[in-house]
Structure 1
Amino acid sequence: MDNTYKVKIIKTDVEIQQCWEVVSLLRPHLNKNNWSSMISEMMQHEKYSIAGIMDNEKVVAFAGYRSMTSLHSGNIIYIDDLCTLESYRNKGFASQLLNHVKAIALSANKDAVVLDTDFHNNTAQKVYLKNGYTLTALHLSSVIVK
């Protein structure tokens, strides 16, 4: 991994907008026009944070996570989003971001770092397993038809 790439905490509207290219890969259903306001609201009301890896002014990898408590997992950090631009993959950025979030969890005395991944995303699953994550649950959902 190239040590010139450092984790940066994303806070400003400009930095949030710089995440769009990576986010749109992971969440193509989102709208670029309301992305910044959605994230700002999540940061303000839902303890959502973003850590990014920058190449100059370009975010090339990001992790979106939040602090929360659940009866199942306890006092945790939940990783909502983790993605790297395709041309920057295989440089260890996902592992770097996972380690960053784990360090935050350790310093905040959290019980665990938890995430979900798509059944078919074998590449991400390999990264998570390589980084010490284990399969502990099956996540189910019911889509609300409007």
Structure 2
Amino acid sequence: MEIKIAVSDADIAACFAVLSQLRPHLPQADFLATIRRLEATTGFRLASVTDDGRVRAVAGIRAAEWLYAGKYLEIEDLVTAEADRSRGYGGQLFDWLVQHARAQGCRQLRLVSGVAREAAHRFYGRKGMRFEAKYFSMDLG
């Protein structure tokens, strides 16, 4: 098993099948260009768990800083391949992200999750995350 940041085009492309299970609106034809644009403009990165030559879990992450809490690592996406759920891949990736955040000098790990993803929320709670804020949004177009 290997956990790493996807750097090469091939590594990024290999994440598509798993990430698209969480983000089905993303067209495969635009995936690499979208990830590269996010990397360049926001510092977004993909981290993945590969086992037996297959990507099993993927996280989309970025480091940022807020006035009230300092530097943090945000997990924007975290998904395990449907066939591989409850086999520990998501938990191992989460634990790796905690260590990665510490190594980057982050004071906090944050994650935004849709309100309907109750099973995911239980997982995050078991990992020590706490419900800290409400997230609001407004469509503009």
Q: Using structure 1 for the length normalisation, give the TM-score.
A: 0.90
Equivalent residue for 1:48?
A: 44
Equivalent residue for 2:118?
A: 122
Q: Displacement of 1:26 after TM fit?
A: 0.5
Aligned partner of 2:51: which letter?
D
Runs of 4+ in structure 1 off by over 6 angstroms are none
1:97-116 to 2 correspondences below 5 Å: 97-116=93-112
Measured against aligned partners, the alpha-carbon deviations of 1:1-36 in whole angstroms (never above 9, x if no partner) come to xxxx22122111111111111111111111111110
Assess if the C-alpha contact under 8 Å between 1:18 and 1:57 holds in 2.
Answer: no
The 10-residue stretch of structure 1 (40-49 or 124-133) with the greater mean CA deviation from structure 2? 40-49
Separation of aligned partners in 2, 1:56 and 1:45: 33
Equivalent residue for 1:32?
A: 28
Separation of aligned partners in 1, 2:46 and 2:104: 16
Separation of aligned partners in 1, 2:101 and 2:34: 24
Aligned partner of 1:83: which letter?
V
Percent of residue pairs bearing the same amino acid type: 27
1:1-146 to 2 correspondences below 5 Å: 5-145=1-141
Q: What is the DSSP-based 3-state SS (H/G/I as helix, E as strand, rest coil) of the residue aligned with 2:49? A: strand
Q: Using structure 2 for the length normalisation, give the TM-score.
A: 0.93
The 10-residue stretch of structure 1 (131-140 or 88-97) with the greater mean CA deviation from structure 2? 88-97
Assess if the C-alpha contact under 8 Å between 2:2 and 2:51 holds in 1.
Answer: no
Q: What is the DSSP-based 3-state SS (H/G/I as helix, E as strand, rest coil) of the residue aligned with 2:128? A: coil
Assess if the C-alpha contact under 8 Å between 2:59 and 2:77 holds in 1.
Answer: yes
What is the alpha-carbon root mean square deviation over aligned residues?
A: 1.3
Q: Which sections of structure 2, spanning at least 5 residues, go unmatched?
A: none
Q: Displacement of 1:74 after TM fit?
A: 2.1
Q: Displacement of 1:84 after TM fit?
A: 0.6
Q: Displacement of 1:50 after TM fit?
A: 1.4
Measured against aligned partners, the alpha-carbon deviations of 1:92-119 in whole angstroms (never above 9, x if no partner) come to 1111111111111212221100001111
